[in-house]
Structure 1
């Protein structure tokens, strides 16, 4: 089918693979409207629809027949392991199987030095890795006594093992098969049998599907196309790689800083484009329904993988990270962070480091990923210290309006978060060690100065000083989550316990 895409790619100036990918994402939207018309009484037809559309994407369109066979191998292997291994090591066997396969393909990609303009199997395989490892844990939870599970595990546990067709339909759910969103098996089956809609019936329909789905979905699609246009037009001139060009160093420092920040926004716009396009297609199939708003309108927030405004205008770095790659954060929290923690103990340093390592390996083997994640640990630590020691001093009393001091604090937090985001993300896009270090050098290491000076202040007496000041002014610091909470929020029960402790401290 290249004859359909080569002329378009030449006219736009994009790679053929990029045009193919965007075409698949756009085709998924009208196919989503067809999918939801299949009645819940025909579940096998829905599973088959997912499988056939995914085969169409991979083989005639993307020309990834070998890649599809590899994905199918991971799916069948997981299906066999989860069904036949009954012991507690089953989820870890699945994890080693699919993550090992993914890592091999990451190595092959690096060996052939394939650019990210080339779409190959590792992108879909990253999504599938999250699906299959989550499924394995859901099956294990289904074999575990309910009293030993938390709320999420109870909701997502699999007690009835799926048929092969059901599992193939889940694994190859077509709106998210290429770039996400990933979903768990229970959510997929609630979409198939329409229990997701909780029996709410649209006035204009004999089925339970709520009104407003198309309005939200096509607004998401339009948003994705806008960001896609921004990226196509501006990315040749604004990208992180511009930092290591000779031209960049001929400019003044303030101009370089401003140019670099805007380049970061343009780099992110491609992710905004593909994730909102897939979110729109998912909503058209019915996925993402989250109930009804105060005015009775249906809400569709469950398929979101990114919150753009919270990323570009965050009040602090934690809000920013909570809004980026949302579904991956859920996977890391539920399948790694909580699972590597010994029973009866709270997650600690070991759990955190294993989770960060998993995230790095999942992304690939490029050293830029590890530079980003390693520095990210220090960033989240600095943010936690600011929130625990400095923020209570600017909070207004309960019920009082926001003060000018608090607004200034939030404004500084927004500005600092964007500066740090672009600094730490540069290696993630530049990938190799030498380019990443050179980019940071040309930016005069400003991110290290910002984070390093913050940590030095708190570790060299600033925390004690601010705690004393809080006590003097009758303020109480918020009890914080762990530094890695942006990808691993604590269980709801732990949050409730912390709130009780905070209330008791405030009474005292």
Structure 2
């Protein structure tokens, strides 16, 4: 422990000096702890392998290392992790399995919300660093998932379970050591991701690889499969992805600030297309930090031997059991659903298992509300998820009614994909801006600016159409008058072939039309000027 402490302190000092101001001290400590956790994960897999180490030893070491890293990062605030976990375990033991999953959800989410509200409104509003409620969010997912899985395995009949619930159901109550190892292990205590209890126990006991090598033949495409594939290649790839993500974030974190989207001068003096492009770029540059955090967490679990998910068709091992995102699928998503399905994947699984599949009324709205409560006390979170409900329902309707018309040919399908990609990215940016701005005032100002800009462009279009229509009517009037003058000849009796009153009537109608259009034109100009002045 002394060696680990000195390593952590040395790395923290070096990184705090070398990294730019984009990262705070607490965030530097977080990066240092994750790097130390990565090294510890290799040691854990090589020297405490389940083939020569009892599960109880692996449980103890994983738990102690997790609490040590938590203390280094968050100090005595890490005690909240033990309090939250202890409260819910007491509920599991003391209450019946019929309703304990509901009590655990209420207590865990309530304690998390209490800590989030205290941190935001008592200590430091807007402190967007590595705060102690981040790990509590992951612990909340784990202990509530465990409660629901115990309820499914011990209180419900198997025929009433879905296929997914049957796989995850737990048939016995975990011991206290198993419980704390699952919720506070060093691989996932800082940044997750969450995982099922059965998968974690299989990893600790050494049955994860055997459990997922289900094919009768261990040979694919001429390559002999190993009984336990090495994660080293996958870990190197993910660490390289983390390095690129961190470099990109540090390079552009100050170039495209999200706050500029609500700057008065920017809104007033920037064309609409430039505002949309800047909105996309500003939100794009916020994503690399999430790519770094979640990919590093995935690499740590893989380095420890956790995350094996069977084999690909070419015989290569898959290490995506608890992966939290797919970067390319996010950046090239052609629908709102595809974006959400590949972003924060394990949280989406948790929301689906504890809320969406079990809520009897309007599960979509209930899931978004639960997600907002879980994320924290900032009002911007609730604006984001309320907007997300509308965007999700609208995207479903568009996909259901419009997409079939573009499936006739590859060219039409390509055109549809391009249009929906652009629409998806804009919709995601529009939805997520309050999530980044956090406060109500700037978020509503952003929404108003989008509405005002769109209305102004609409008025410009109407003004142009009125002017063009007015010019067209004047041209038609001149042509008609010329035709009337040409055809107004007399018959042999000296009577005009075209009565004078008829000509006067047409001329009067044209005059009325011209006066109406002229009045409309002036009204549009005055309205447009008022909008510009405002």
TM-score w.r.t. structure 2 length? 0.77
1:372–1:424 contact (8 Å) kept in structure 2: yes
Displacement over 4 Å in runs of 4+: 1-4, 199-202, 204-207, 444-449
Structure 2 residue corresponding to 1:173, chosen from 163, 185, 190:
185
Alignment map for 1:311-460 (pairs within 5 Å): 311-341=330-360, 348-349=361-362, 351-396=363-408, 403-444=410-451
- Counterpart contact for 2:26–2:130, Cα < 8 Å: yes
**How many angstroms apart in 2 are the aligned matches of 1:448 and 1:51?**
57
Q: CA deviation at 1:448?
A: 11
| Distance of aligned partners of 1:245 and 1:166 in 2 relative to their CA distance in 1, 3 Å threshold | same
Query: 1:394-414 CA deviation, whole Å, 9 max, x = no partner?
Result: 224xxxxx5201110111000
1:107-129 superposed Cα distances (whole Å, 9 cap, x missing partner) = 11221234344322210000000
Q: Deviations over 1:312-350 (max 9, x none)?
A: 111211111111111111111111122233xxxxxx42x
Question: Does the 8 Å contact 1:257/1:443 carry over to 2?
Answer: no
2:283 to 237, 253, 264: 264
User: How far apart, CA to CA, are the structure 1 residues paired with 2:49 and 2:226?
Assistant: 9
Is the CA contact (8 Å cut-off) linking 1:283 and 1:289 kept in structure 2? yes
Show CA shifts across 1:194-251 (max 9, x none): 221126599x99994213x110112111101211111112111213122233563444
Hey, what's the Cα distance between the residues in 2 that align with 1:296 and 1:447?
Answer: 53
Q: CA RMSD in A?
A: 2.6
Query: Is residue 282 from structure 1 mapped to residue 315 from structure 2 by the alignment?
Result: no
In the alignment, the residues of structure 2 paired with residue 172 and residue 71 of structure 1 have an alpha-carbon distance, to the nearest angstrom, of 8
Aligned length: 435
Q: Which of 159, 169, 172 matches 1:147?
A: 159
Structure 2 residue aligned with 1:345: none
Deviation, 1:354, is 2.3
Alignment match, 1:273: 292
The DSSP-based 3-state class of the residue aligned with 1:153 is helix
Q: Secondary structure at the match of 2:371?
A: helix
1:108 maps to what in 2?
118
Of residues 134, 145, 148 in structure 2, which corresponds to 1:123? 134
Cα distance in 2 for partners of 1:205, 1:315 equals 38
Query: Could you say which residue in structure 2 is the equivalent of 1:26?
Result: 35
What residue number does 1:300 align with? Answer: 319
What are the Cα deviations for residues 285-320 of structure 1, in whole angstroms up to 9, with x where unaligned?
Answer: 222211111221111111211111111111211111
CA 1:208–1:160: 2 relative to 1, 3 Å:
farther
State the alpha-carbon separation in 1 of the partners of residues 447 and 17 from structure 2.
34
- TM-superposition CA deviations, 1:78-114 (whole Å, max 9, x none): 2221122114221111111111100101111221234
Unaligned runs of 5+ in 1: 342-347, 397-401, 450-508
Match of 2:86 among 66, 72, 76: 76
CA distance in 2: counterparts of 1:45 and 1:207, whole angstroms = 26
- What does the per-residue CA deviation read over 1:11-34, in whole Å, with 9 as the maximum and x for residues that have no partner? 422210111111122222221112
Larger radius of gyration: 2
1:221-236 superposed matches below 5 A: 221-236=239-254
Give me the whole-angstrom Cα distance separating, in 2, the residues matched to 1:42 and 1:2: 32
Cα distance change of structure 1 residues 332 and 206 upon mapping to structure 2, 3 Å threshold: closer
Structure 2 residues not aligned, in runs of 5+ = 1-7, 457-534
Q: Structure 2: how far apart are the matches of 1:239 and 1:290?
A: 39
Measured at CA, do residues 237 and 154 of structure 1 come closer, stay the same or move farther in structure 2, by a change above 3 Å? Answer: same
- Counterpart secondary structure, 1:356: helix
Q: Are the equivalent residues in 2 in contact too, given 1:24–1:57 (CA < 8 A)? A: yes
TM-score w.r.t. length of structure 1:
0.80
2:109 aligns to what?
99
Is this contact kept in 2: 1:317–1:413, CA < 8 A?
Answer: no
| d(CA) in 2 for partners of 1:383, 1:128 | 32
Which residue of structure 2 lines up, in the alignment, with residue 193 of structure 1?
205
Q: Which residue of 2 aligns with 1:214?
A: 232
In 2, distance between residues paired with 1:9 and 1:441?
A: 40
Please say if 1:248 is aligned against 2:295.
no
